[in-house]
Chains A and B, each alone.
Chain A
Amino acid sequence: MVQEELILLNRARSLEQDALVEIHEQYYTPIYRYISFRVSDSQSVEDLTSEVFLRLLNALRDHNAPQNTLRGWLYGVASNIVKEYYRQKKRANLAALDESIPSNGRSLHQQLESKLLGEKLLTVMKDLTEDQQNVLALRFGFEMPIKEVAAVMGKSEGSVKMLQARAVASLSNRIPAGAMAA
């Protein structure tokens, strides 16, 4: 996997069209999901996700492109973009309701309840530490394995597991018991 990523990266350095298309297709969804874990407004998530790839182009042009791993570099840029977003917007409340309700095969009632819980979770997410937010966003948004999360965050796997457990526990402590649906 790493070798394939390096080959792709080398091709991208020369701004090869096919390589850039491949990069966008491979990483757009994980980056989008990561940012969506931390930013509730869907339009903002789209804009911020697109910005990550534009910054990749600039890095390739300026010869500051990642040397060893593309995923980790993209995560780092996405994380910085999200920070910049909150610095600029200073938003701490729930994002505007997203009209698109993922179904995942559930009934409408279940979907609505899930959406409400999700919105609550996103709201209280801001109360977590930066590392805790990143761990949850990488694990459940980017869908990154523990080992890789440890690598990009510069932590041990044990630390990442503990961060994750504490983040979940903290979230669960902040959600009223009645809002939880099994």
Chain B
Amino acid sequence: MKLIQEELFLVCLEALENGESVEQILNRYPDFVDELRPFLVTAVQLPQLAHQPTLAAQQTSQQRFLQQAAELRKSAKSRSAWHRLRPVLAPLASLVMLLLVSVSLITASNAALPGDALYGTKRLFESFRLTRTGDVEVLQQQTQNERRREVDAVLQSDRNVWVEFEGTIETMQGEMWLVSGIAVQVDSFTRIKGDRQVGAWVRVNGRVHDGILRALSVTVLTADQSPTFTPTVPAAMGTALPTETAVPSPTATTEPVSPTATPLPKDNGDDDNTNNNDDDNSNNDVDDNGNDNSGDDDIVNDNNDDNSNDNSGDDDNINDNDGDDNDNANDNSGDDNVNDNDDGDNTNDNSDDDDDSNDNDGDDNSNNSGDDNANGNDDDDNANDDSGSDNSNDNDDANDNDDNSGSGSNENDNDNDISGSDGSGDNDNDNGGYSSGGDGDNNNDNDDI
């Protein structure tokens, strides 16, 4: 086909689409009528070649179409129900399995003894229960009973394992003690802490070998028979026992351990009692040494006969150091409240701000610096303000007495020193104003401006 013809055919087809008739188009191109006529006639016929569907055919097709769609929807629903449930069922099944395994594990571990593979698991579950269950005392008692039962069982076996339990000293005959019915060998290698006596509640750590429990350490927890709970979480899931601090002599009478000589007890991390780290609650121990309450949120730390109690952290509440506390470098820094230092307290340095209600009774010495409020210094206070109604006593270099609101005080700044900035050597009857601080102010120094 000639190029000119192709172009003409394109033009003619477009003319037909625009609604022109065949004759109109042919009249426009009279020189090409013979070529264009068959072309245009054919083009006009083409739209008529396609058939219109009958209504019946369309309806039949639609019916078949929708029926098939309904079947697909039905099968899709049953598939998707499972797909919808699977994300829920699968983890649920896993959880059920986990619970079953856990229950089995707990059940299996209940009978575990020191040296068994599941013993660590058993101790872990015990600790978990103690932190979650309400009646702690009952559980504690049950736990201690279980420890003694385990020791009994181990003693009757051929096991060579480490054990630990608490009980009451019933008898002490030479190297054989009876602690809550359990025979314990105590020899020169045994480290004994505290005042051992019949009736004392002790914690025994030792090794069972050939049916004999040889104590590595015996720690007196309370002199009387009241048990003090000190749950011990195993350092590892095995038979290892926590190490104990050394005692100078196993045969000497029990003496308070010098805090400087005794290394600090082992730091048992969070939730530990006895050695007092973060988040420790209700620590009512006796003879605790080197208790470093350095973490925050230590509550109700009632330490009797405690030495070197350094409450250096913030938010230490109700730190009640009773009894014969020695060398209490009680540095109540931060926001400490209600620091009640009773008799025999020395070197109480309330050095920081916002110490409230510091009531130093008895033989208190060298007290009160900084912004101490409401310091009621009673009798027998040395180098301090006497029993008068002392308010807001700012005791700098000692003896800043009644009604002394001034600063820069010196020794013997006595009665009737009313305000003013008194210079050195201010004595009786220094009334008002302020002087230029001449030396040797004597009686009746009525200073004026």
Please list the residues of chain A having a beta carbon within 8 angstroms of any beta carbon in chain B.
15, 17, 20-21, 24-25, 28-29, 32-34, 36-37, 42, 45-46, 49-50, 53-54, 57, 60-61, 98, 100, 102, 104, 114, 117-118, 121-122, 125, 136-137, 139-141, 161-162, 164-166, 168-169, 171-173, 175, 177, 180-182
- Return the chain A residue nearest B43 by Cβ: A168
B66 touches A17 (CB 8 A): yes
Q: A57-B69, A140-B47, A166-B6 are in contact. Are A28 and B39 (CB under 8 A)?
A: no
A140 touches B41 (CB 8 A): no
Given contacts A33-B50, A50-B60, A60-B72, 11 further A-B contacts (CB under 8 A): A15-B72, A28-B62, A46-B61, A57-B65, A57-B69, A57-B72, A102-B51, A140-B46, A168-B43, A172-B38, A172-B39
Residues of B in contact (CB 8 Å), total 38
Residues of A within 8 A of B46 (CB): 121, 136, 139-140, 168, 171
B42 touches A175 (CB 8 A): yes
Residues of B within 8 A of A50 (CB): 60-61, 64-65
- Return the chain B residue nearest A139 by Cβ: B46
Q: A17-B66, A20-B65, A50-B64 are in contact. Are A162 and B42 (CB under 8 A)?
A: no
B9 touches A168 (CB 8 A): yes
B72 touches A118 (CB 8 A): no
- Return the chain A residue nearest B39 by Cβ: A172
Q: Is the interface of B mostly helix, strand, loop or mixed?
A: helix
Q: Which of B23, B42, B61 lies in contact with A24, CB distance below 8 A? A: B61
Residues of B within 8 A of A173 (CB): 38
Q: Which of A37, A53, A175 lies in contact with B49, CB distance below 8 A? A: A37
Task: Jot down 17 A-B pairs with beta carbons below 8 A, ordered by A.
Answer: A15-B76, A24-B62, A32-B51, A32-B52, A33-B53, A46-B53, A50-B61, A54-B64, A57-B65, A57-B68, A102-B52, A118-B45, A140-B50, A166-B9, A172-B41, A180-B41, A181-B41
Residues of B within 8 A of A28 (CB): 53, 58, 61-62
Residues of B within 8 A of A60 (CB): 72
Q: How far is B65's CA from A161's CA once the two chains are assembled, in angstroms?
A: 35
* Distance to closest chain B CB from A110 (angstroms): 11
* Distance to closest chain B CB from A171 (angstroms): 5
- Return the chain A residue nearest B1 by Cβ: A169
A33 touches B43 (CB 8 A): no
Nearest 6 pairs between A and B by C-beta?
A172-B42, A33-B50, A36-B51, A141-B50, A165-B9, A172-B38
A162 touches B6 (CB 8 A): yes
* Distance to closest chain B CB from A150 (angstroms): 14
Q: A17-B69, A164-B13, A165-B6 are in contact. Are A121 and B53 (CB under 8 A)?
A: no
A61 touches B76 (CB 8 A): yes
Q: Which of B10, B39, B54, B66 lies in contact with A100, CB distance below 8 A? A: B54
Residues of B within 8 A of A182 (CB): 22-23, 37, 41, 44
A-B contact count (CB 8 A): 135
Q: A15-B72, A15-B73 are in contact. Are A168 and B42 (CB under 8 A)?
A: yes
- Report B61-105 CB contacts with A as 1/0, cut-off 8 Å: 110111011001100100000000000000000000000000000
Q: A121-B42, A161-B10 are in contact. Are A53 and B61 (CB under 8 A)?
A: yes
B65 touches A165 (CB 8 A): no
B48 contacts the other chain (CB 8 A)? yes
* Distance to closest chain B CB from A127 (angstroms): 13
- Return the chain B residue nearest A165 by Cβ: B9
* Distance to closest chain A CB from B366 (angstroms): 86
B57 contacts the other chain (CB 8 A)? yes
A61 touches B48 (CB 8 A): no
Residues of B within 8 A of A45 (CB): 51, 53
B51 touches A42 (CB 8 A): yes
Q: How far is B59's CA from A72's CA once the two chains are assembled, in angstroms?
A: 23
* Distance to closest chain B CB from A158 (angstroms): 9
Residues of B within 8 A of A36 (CB): 49-51
A162 touches B10 (CB 8 A): yes
Q: Which of B13, B22, B49 lies in contact with A118, CB distance below 8 A? A: B49
Residues of A within 8 A of B60 (CB): 46, 50
Residues of B within 8 A of A168 (CB): 9, 13, 39, 42-43, 46
Residues of B within 8 A of A32 (CB): 51-53, 57-58
- Report B1-26 CB contacts with A as 1/0, cut-off 8 Å: 10001100110010000000011000
Residues of B within 8 A of A17 (CB): 66, 69
